[in-house]
Structure 1
Amino acid sequence: MAAYASLLALARTLHQILTLDRYPNPLDKEKIVSLFQKVDSSLNFLQDYSDQHGGTVDLVGNEMKSAAYEAQDFMDSYLFLVSRNDFDSSSSEPFSVASVDQGLNLALEKIDFFWEEAMKNKKIPLSSMADSSPVDHSSAIKIPVKKMVVGFDDDIDAINEQLYEDSAKLQIIPIVGMGGIGKTTLARRVYQSAILSRHFDICGWITVSAEYRKRQVLSGLLHYLVEADDVQCHQSDAQLATLVYQGFMGRRYLVVIDDVWDTKAWDDLKRVFPEDGIGSRILITTRLSDVAIYARSSSSQLHLMKFLNEDRSWELLQERIFGLESCPPELVEIGKKIAYSCGGLPLTIVVVAGILISTSNIMRQELWENVSKNISSTEPTIESHCSKILCLSCDRLPLHLKPCFLYMTAFPEDSEIEVSKLIKMWVAEGFLKPSDRSKCMEDVGGGYLEDLVNRSLILVRKKGPDGKLETVGVHDLLREICATKAEEEGFLHHVSSNRNVHKVDATQNPYRRISIHYTQALWEWRIQESSIHSVLLFSERNLGSTFFLSSRRLSILDAPEVTWPNLSDVISALFNLRYIAFALNDSSCPHGFPTSITKLPNLQTVIAHRTYFRRDYLLQIQCEIWETPKLRHLITDTPFRLPSPSSRGIVQESDIQTLETVVDFKFTEEIIKIFVNLKKLKVIFTMCLDNWDDYNLNNLFRLNNLEELKVSVDDLPNPSITWNHTFPISLKKLTLEGVPWHWDNNMTIIGSLPNLEVLQMMNIKVTGFSEHWTPMEDQFLRLKYFRSSLDHLVKWEVEKEHFPSLESLILRRAQIDEIPSGIGEIDSLQLIELQFCKESLVDSANLIQQQQHENGNLAFQVRVNNSDKHDFWF
């Protein structure tokens, strides 16, 4: 796998060199073309072989990987010096013209040698679970699965009995069992049911993990209680703990504390939960019985998770593979044997189901027999046998997915990994190889992720309003196994402050990627090895650690919570940088946005996270940003101004897909021509110009690839101004905040958008004093999610035909008296949520719920939320 990933990275660098206009030696291009062809042929062979046989391929292992790494390092340096015209034909330095020619020859010889050896000796061991038929991984397999948790009915009843008993005392209820047995799944089911029951004033969920991070846990709890983001940076842990305690006081709460590993962590946490005798409950999950016994209340019962019996095991396997359908009779016997071999552990059953689902012909009995043979238990313990099955599931992955999956182990245990960020990092790493060159790399990454989800190797943590993945995770057991694989193959090195390591030195272990998890303050880290290409830093805020970085070949620097005193100088030396996430504050960026970022020729993604700048700070980005040739995503949570491209004479099309969050964006003719690839835009209008039309909003509809748009208006000096501009028909998500609005006219504009799936409208400035809205027919045809405050509306008339695809309706502080009965007749409706709404509106929602349930739609929910917690926008 590491060899394949190294060849991918080398191919990308060679392709970049082949687009150069000049070379130090005319013969160089011929040699580089030859090297690229050999590398590309190697990749195609490995990919084809893996797809056809479904197994792992290892071309003489470390030797090929080392050769590819060495060639890539040389090519990176070559590219660097070409860009600076820094070759000297008489120089004895490593990169004179003579040494360039020698290096190219050496790279060709090594790649040639190892490839020929691999083919001559046919040293290609395959996983014994290989399927001989070709597999098409270009599209994810989707199986309809029943919304149930097999084998947990009795467990849910037992937990609920303790949750809702009459005792007014605070009860701590532990769920204990080995990893993968379903503790978190059970807790999640109970938790979601409790939210719907409205028995508790507030419900919260936090994950502790083996590495207990106190500040992160406190911040997680505070998220459920108050608007905390702006105060946390300046609060001590003790102050945060006090805020949490005060937030829970006087409110009946249910808190799930997932994955507790030691009694000290529990001793530290229990102090923030008041015991005020109103029936609050804390649910703990842990693998350790001594922790469970120590934490539980004297009157509560320890809930011990049991392995699934044979019938339950087979039921779960069937459900995961066939969904609502029945297993074919000829596969039942072998299927039961497979299910029994999983030892009653739900995680292994789900993973084995993922292996079977991923094959091209799932109905082949030979395939099932092959899988059964390879997972038959010969291990002395259930733990070791389950580990064997999980290892096989990793080995069984096709080559193109392996680097992407192993890369996820860089994130800390129990992380909620942001999907959009993960895919941007995959793109920067060069892991993605589209079969269709015209396809956007980010779309390719989305397909890879869906494939991993369907193989049950990653967990879906959160979905967006449109049903797309927002955050994902990896189960602890799988992460531990894959992290070990990543270390063994030299793919990724993990470093922790708990290991008492201050210096990251890769000279003895030449890793290309380093993931640093640090939880202790005032540490000094030195990352000095020039072969390191990726550094990912994970920490809590305000730890005060110091970082020194001198890895010239770095292509990824992910440090969103780290302060770099010399950030601009650090960046200026990173010629190969493709992805950077950094903290934007007075210490790391005293002069605002670092100018050196705009001078990086390979940069694709910039993510700047504000930590200490005042809330009204406006970032100024230099006009040189227009000359960053490969920039695709420019994202900050601090509003910024973009200079006019005409100041730099820029007229060509840009690769930019994402702009967040730009102030007073003008949709001029030149902007429209440049941003032909723009997909996501967040813009704030300060209305500093005299006329709304000065922003050229009449051109907005010409952004033909725009899919997500958020428009916020800070102030409206002229109340007579009304939005009367149309939107691009490509829009899928639209968020409007503070926009001047006329209900009838403007909703007709929005309703006609053919692809719109998500609509948010909050605190709009209503013009014309509209109080009545009746949507038109044949509009909002694809709208799934509608969230609004329905400002100034007192009557809303709806027929089911008006919103035929609506799934979620969220109203906040709406003044209408009731939800239109037509809403309740929409077949696709799944959720109505009311936030700070009048009682009559709640009564009408409950009536709709009763009707939906009577019609068989038991999945329909009504949520009433009057929490004081700040209302966050996506």
Structure 2
Amino acid sequence: MADSSVSFLLDKLSWLLQEEVILQKGVREDVQYIKDELKRHNAILTRDDALEDKDPELKVWVKRVRDIAQDMEDAIDEYNLRLVDHRQGNNKNSSFHKVAFDIKTMKPRHRIASDIKKIKSKVEAITQGRPMISGVGSSSSQRRSSRLDSQGDALLLDEADLVGIDQPKKQLCDLLFNDEPKREVISIYGMGGLGKTTLAKQVYDDPKVKKHFRIHAWVNLSQSIKMEEILKDLVQKLHNVFGKPAPESIGTMNNDDLKKFIQNFLQRSQKYLIVLDDVWHVKVWDGLNHAFPNNNRGSRVMLTTRKRDIALYSCAGLGKDFHLEFLPEKEAWSLFCRKTFQDNSCPPHLEEVCRNILKLCGGLPLAIVAISGALATKERSNIEEWQIVCRSFGSEIEGNDKLEDMNKVISLSLNELPSYLKSCLMYLTIFPEFHAMETWRLIRLWIAEGFVNGEDGKTLEEVADSYLKELLDRSLIQVVEKTSDGRMKTCRMHGLLREIVNSKSRDQNFATIVKEQDMVWPERVRRLSVINPSHNVLQQNTTTFHLRSLLMFGLSDLLNQFSLHELCSSNGVQFLNVLDLQDAPLDDFPAEIVNLYLLKYLSLKNTKVKNIPGSIKRLQNLETLDLKHTSVTELPVEIAELKRLRHLLVYRYEIESYAKFHSRHGFKVAAPIGNMLSLQKLCFIEVDQGSAALMVELGKLTQLRRLGIRKMRKEDGAALCSSIEKMIHLRSLSIFAIEEDEVIDIHDISNPPRYLQQLYLSGRLEKFPQWINSCKNLARVFLKWSKLEEDPLVYLQGLPNLRHLELLQVYVGEMLHFNAKGFPSLKVLGLDYLEGLKYMTIEEGAMQGLKKLVMQRCSSFKNVPVGIEHLAKLKAIEFFDMPDELIMDLRPNGGKDFWRVQNVPTVYSTYWRNDGWDVYSLETFGDIESDVDHRIAMRTLQLPTLWKA
């Protein structure tokens, strides 16, 4: 992961070479020399990244390259910073002003020329002193050897180590033995160390499997192994089944001939089983796939991989992907105790520290077995030794020979990463341990840091999103929470992987994490994460602060000791690109922030800041301004001067009941918002004043992906419709009327945004907007207070991708009818405050994928929905403040309609009483009149999660 500093610099060098400001004589040539040399060095660093840890001389040289790259970046940023004041107000169209500008900038141009001369000398020195990198000519073979030496889970885990292996083994055997005559592919995927290879080996070696598949072969793969070697190895193993050597002719065959040979061999054979262990690349599967014919005898191919995309790709059409999960807590504890303590019982005085250590293993069998082996030799009476392991888990992994093999297996996934993902992954260690990271926060931060490379036809946000998905597919991050329409909302890194990545981050001085006052500081600090600070971290005598990023967590009331004024006035923060003060106890906007001219990302989310000064216009590089859940209600007119701003997020919730019209607040602005042509996200802007002109201004924002409008009036509908038609990239649209009874008039949209995925309308609809029916990409639709007389389902049920539908006071009729084949993708359905609703009919075939049904405050609805029994995938039904008659009919002990929901795992009823929710499980629900005796649980909710759009 050595190439990140150089990669970032190369882009800045390109900017400097293209800069219109005239550099001093010879400087441009020096910059070009530095760029060319660092580009060559970067190619070496990227190619031989995995060798850095093994070659001390190379490691020292890499550090020198990185330091030079950072020095050059500092020089460019300082040059850029010194030009800021001169650029502002300069009329470049005037020749006089151009001359004046060149004179005024003479000093900064002289300064950068001097800096570049010094840096060029250092580059020449490291070029001449570059070490001979061992194995450069054979680096691929070295990596292959390393790869095969730690071939993985099978070398480190045995059957006894896999607690609960019986069930997944049975499932795999069932897939192998099923009656399907066509060739099928079974893909086992998951994080390295889960035991994929061990599980596959247990299945493969099972006597019943060997008997069922007379022809069988196990092929070990590597990241860089040649296809020709794989094919020849497979030919030999197929012949070994019969105890015969492979024909000598295969030695002269090319790849195509070898594939044809294998194909003919297997086509004539009985049913066969081929296991491909540890597939790393799609091209490997593509190279082998056609060698495995469909001989219609029930043949199977089984593969293991760390990558989800390979698993899904290989078994697409005819096959099954099998995701191996982490061990549950109970089974993990059983394995830990069995491997750590001979008597399988943890001493009571060690249980707390052992459970903390186990938590860091995160249910990963390989980690549990390895850590247990290291702990088994420790003295049980000395609890301090065990606590040291827990406190310094990362250091223990690095320095303990017994954990070296485990470290290799986990590190393989990191060394194999393409360069554009390495920095993104290391960046995750900036967040506190076990912290659930919001995906959009990560995306914006990565872009501000410069990690995201532009791609034709894509925004940087779309590219960053693809990075997240790739990390997920490689099992390097885990989903913590999903949105109801299937998108990843929050994620985290596995605890053990995090420790290994954090170790690499420290080693390369990628980021500095401050948790304790007496920590050892590196020589330079460029990215700083401060967690629960108790002192001013910038008061370090021996550390050079040239900060590009500062993120602070858990500030709470410690701000009295940690002065933000001192922070922003410090000499080491003038180059900041990222300042994230989310959750800080701030009452006022820190005035010093506006002097951070290079700032790209500013978050004051969840603070008490009320006002934003007009001087914010000085932050001309700002791309993200996150003021969500602050007290800001109005932005200054100068905000429109931030031409690079891409994400303007200003809104908060004030929840007094679980469904209130005025529960969300946005911001007012008198600025010509249409000048902010880079905006992609704008929410929530209040348009009640000067709304006509503002609606027209919105039409200029053709790059918008998300638009949120509050306090809209009926008369502004036509202008808004015209503007929406120009927003061809729009993905999410939220419109709130100024009052509950105000009509939202948005019917005249003849060309709706084709990519629209989320639609939220709150206010009256005189009729259903017909254009919604043509938005085939819609995944979430929330309609509130529409008060339609016509059944809205007629227009919505044909939407092919709709996954989440919420209707609050939308329909005044008595009957809702769900037609067969309607809502093919719907997962969540919420119906609220439909006071006139009395009956619901669900035809067989409707909502076939529905998993959750929520009904609340439908006071006239006393009959169980007819056809609800057809919803075979329904997992939960929730009733909030629904009539007693309905609930009584669903009781398991005597309810006449209980049979309709008897196969639904969770059914419960909830009532709002005394400002809180009383929750009752219908599985044991008794007499409503004596509900105290049958109370299962009680909880107080401010707002049901389904309404937090």
TM normalised by structure 2 equals 0.59
- Following superposition, the deviation at residue 364 of structure 1 comes to 8.6
d(CA) in 1 for partners of 2:649 and 2:23?
Answer: 37
d(CA) in 2 for partners of 1:460 and 1:69?
Answer: 34
d(CA) in 2 for partners of 1:725 and 1:369?
Answer: 53
- Following superposition, the deviation at residue 622 of structure 1 comes to 1.9
Structure 2 residue aligned with 1:559: 581
Q: Structure 1 counterpart of 2:63, which letter? A: N
| More moved, 566-575 vs 472-481 | 566-575
d(CA) in 2 for partners of 1:797 and 1:369?
Answer: 46
Q: Structure 2 counterpart of 1:536, which letter? A: L
Q: Structure 1 counterpart of 2:549, which letter? A: S
What whole-Å deviation, never above 9, does each CA across 1:474-502 have from its counterpart, x for those lacking one?
12212122222211210111111xx235x
Gap change, CA 1:579 and 1:527, over 3 Å in 2: farther
Gap change, CA 1:333 and 1:600, over 3 Å in 2: closer
Q: Structure 1 counterpart of 2:783, which letter? A: M
Q: Is 1:110 aligned to residue 122 of structure 2?
A: yes
d(CA) in 2 for partners of 1:584 and 1:694?
Answer: 36
1:792 to 795, 799, 812: 812
Structure 2 residue aligned with 1:625: 639
2:517 to 500, 521, 534: 500
Q: Structure 1 counterpart of 2:828, which letter? A: S
- Following superposition, the deviation at residue 534 of structure 1 comes to 0.9
Q: Is 1:4 aligned to residue 24 of structure 2?
A: no
- Following superposition, the deviation at residue 684 of structure 1 comes to 0.8
Q: Is 1:21 aligned to residue 20 of structure 2?
A: yes
| Pairing of 1:582-731 with structure 2 (within 5 A) | 582-583=604-605, 592-611=611-630, 613=631, 618-619=633-634, 621-638=635-652, 639-645=666-672, 654-664=677-687, 671-672=697-698, 674-685=700-711, 687=713, 691-693=715-717, 696-716=720-740, 722-726=745-749, 728-731=752-755
Structure 1 residue aligned with 2:77: 76
Q: Is 1:452 aligned to residue 471 of structure 2?
A: yes
- Following superposition, the deviation at residue 458 of structure 1 comes to 0.8
Gap change, CA 1:115 and 1:707, over 3 Å in 2: farther
- Following superposition, the deviation at residue 752 of structure 1 comes to 1.4
1:401 to 421, 431, 442: 421
Q: Structure 1 counterpart of 2:948, which letter? A: W
Contact kept? 2:555, 2:585, Cα under 8 Å: no
Structure 1 residue aligned with 2:526: 512
d(CA) in 2 for partners of 1:129 and 1:858?
Answer: 60
| 2:651 match: secondary structure | strand
Contact kept? 2:684, 2:708, Cα under 8 Å: yes
| More moved, 20-29 vs 353-362 | 353-362
| 2:736 match: secondary structure | strand
Identical-residue share of aligned pairs (%): 19
d(CA) in 2 for partners of 1:327 and 1:569?
Answer: 77
Structure 2 residue aligned with 1:63: 64
Contact kept? 2:577, 2:599, Cα under 8 Å: yes
Gap change, CA 1:697 and 1:441, over 3 Å in 2: same
- Following superposition, the deviation at residue 127 of structure 1 comes to 8.6
d(CA) in 1 for partners of 2:629 and 2:539?
Answer: 24
Structure 1 residue aligned with 2:177: none
d(CA) in 2 for partners of 1:24 and 1:397?
Answer: 38
Q: Is 1:100 aligned to residue 123 of structure 2?
A: no
Gap change, CA 1:308 and 1:631, over 3 Å in 2: closer
Contact kept? 1:654, 1:677, Cα under 8 Å: yes
| 1:532 match: secondary structure | strand
Q: Structure 1 counterpart of 2:650, which letter? A: T
1:331 to 218, 224, 237: 218
Structure 1 residue aligned with 2:762: 738
Contact kept? 2:484, 2:803, Cα under 8 Å: yes
Contact kept? 2:219, 2:277, Cα under 8 Å: no
| 2:499 match: secondary structure | helix
d(CA) in 2 for partners of 1:473 and 1:62?
Answer: 29
Contact kept? 2:831, 2:854, Cα under 8 Å: yes
Contact kept? 1:654, 1:676, Cα under 8 Å: yes
Q: Is 1:781 aligned to residue 796 of structure 2?
A: no
d(CA) in 2 for partners of 1:74 and 1:402?
Answer: 25
Q: Which runs of 5+ in 1 are unaligned?
A: 133-148, 156-184, 186-306, 319-325, 336-352
d(CA) in 1 for partners of 2:479 and 2:536?
Answer: 36
- Following superposition, the deviation at residue 633 of structure 1 comes to 0.9
Structure 1 residue aligned with 2:149: none
1:760 to 753, 759, 782: 782
d(CA) in 2 for partners of 1:817 and 1:130?
Answer: 69
Gap change, CA 1:37 and 1:629, over 3 Å in 2: farther
- Following superposition, the deviation at residue 48 of structure 1 comes to 7.0
d(CA) in 1 for partners of 2:27 and 2:49?
Answer: 33
Structure 1 residue aligned with 2:843: 822
What whole-Å deviation, never above 9, does each CA across 1:178-200 have from its counterpart, x for those lacking one?
xxxxxxx9xxxxxxxxxxxxxxx
d(CA) in 1 for partners of 2:692 and 2:278?
Answer: 51
* Count, aligned residues: 648
Contact kept? 1:667, 1:696, Cα under 8 Å: no
Contact kept? 1:568, 1:595, Cα under 8 Å: no
Contact kept? 1:492, 1:515, Cα under 8 Å: yes
What whole-Å deviation, never above 9, does each CA across 1:410-459 have from its counterpart, x for those lacking one?
1111111000110111111111224x344211111111111111111111
Gap change, CA 1:421 and 1:96, over 3 Å in 2: closer
Q: Which runs of 5+ in 2 are unaligned?
A: 88-99, 146-161, 169-190, 206-212, 223-275, 289-302, 307-365, 376-401, 653-665, 876-900, 911-916, 918-939
| Pairing of 1:18-417 with structure 2 (within 5 A) | 18-25=17-24, 27-39=26-38, 43=42, 60-85=61-86, 96-111=108-123, 113-114=125-126, 117-118=129-130, 121=133, 130=143, 151=164, 312=199, 314=201, 329-331=216-218, 356-357=279-280, 360-361=283-284, 381=374, 384=403, 385-417=405-437
Gap change, CA 1:27 and 1:396, over 3 Å in 2: same
Q: Structure 2 counterpart of 1:69, which letter? A: Q
Gap change, CA 1:500 and 1:406, over 3 Å in 2: same
d(CA) in 2 for partners of 1:710 and 1:70?
Answer: 46
d(CA) in 2 for partners of 1:413 and 1:90?
Answer: 52
- Following superposition, the deviation at residue 799 of structure 1 comes to 2.0
Contact kept? 1:357, 1:455, Cα under 8 Å: no
TM normalised by structure 1 equals 0.64
Q: CA RMSD in A?
A: 4.8
d(CA) in 1 for partners of 2:475 and 2:669?
Answer: 43
d(CA) in 1 for partners of 2:778 and 2:725?
Answer: 14
Structure 2 residue aligned with 1:162: none
Q: Structure 1 counterpart of 2:604, which letter? A: F
Q: Structure 2 counterpart of 1:4, which letter? A: D
d(CA) in 2 for partners of 1:538 and 1:317?
Answer: 49
Gap change, CA 1:584 and 1:781, over 3 Å in 2: closer
d(CA) in 2 for partners of 1:430 and 1:712?
Answer: 36
| More moved, 574-583 vs 391-400 | 391-400
What whole-Å deviation, never above 9, does each CA across 1:271-302 have from its counterpart, x for those lacking one?
xxxxxxxxxxxxxxxxxxxxxxxxxxxxxxxx
Structure 1 residue aligned with 2:853: 832
What whole-Å deviation, never above 9, does each CA across 1:333-365 have from its counterpart, x for those lacking one?
899xxxxxxxxxxxxxxxxx9974456415899
- Following superposition, the deviation at residue 66 of structure 1 comes to 0.4
1:473 to 492, 507, 525: 492
2:553 to 502, 527, 538: 538
d(CA) in 2 for partners of 1:153 and 1:858?
Answer: 30
Contact kept? 1:833, 1:864, Cα under 8 Å: no
Contact kept? 2:615, 2:638, Cα under 8 Å: no
